[in-house]
Amino acid sequence: MFLNQFLFFAAILFSIGVYGVLTRKNGVLVLMSVELILNAVNINLVAFGAYKSDLSGQIFALFTIAVAAAEVGVGLAIVLLIYRNRRSIDISDSNMLKG
């Protein structure tokens, strides 16, 4: 098994996640695409950990999973707040900061 096959898999998932973040209007779908990006990073960490036979890779992947859980919690709370105030989670409508 090559190291590159895992890194490529992660790179493809990462690019798909970036595409999702850039093209989706719905706030929840943007959060899902961010999850895809975080997972791609985790694959990299675990693959390098296995490549070097080092535990740090897997431990950092676990830390990333915990941070992702926190991110989803706060992100969904913000999306709910936007929905409550504007009756829509279309993020292209959230342009009040524009002068």
Q: Which residues bind another protein (CB under 8 A)?
A: 1-9, 11-20, 22-29, 31-33, 35-36, 39, 42-43, 46-47, 49-51, 53, 55-59, 61-63, 65-74, 76-81, 83-84, 89-90, 92
State in angstroms the smallest separation of the CB of 32 from another protein.
Answer: 5
CB-based contacts of 36, cutoff 8 Å, min separation 6? 13, 14, 16, 17, 20
CB 37 within 8 A of CB 30: no
State in angstroms the smallest separation of the CB of 18 from another protein.
Answer: 5
β-partners of residue 26 are 90
Dig out the tokens for 12 from the structure. Answer: 């493809």
State in angstroms the smallest separation of the CB of 41 from another protein.
Answer: 11
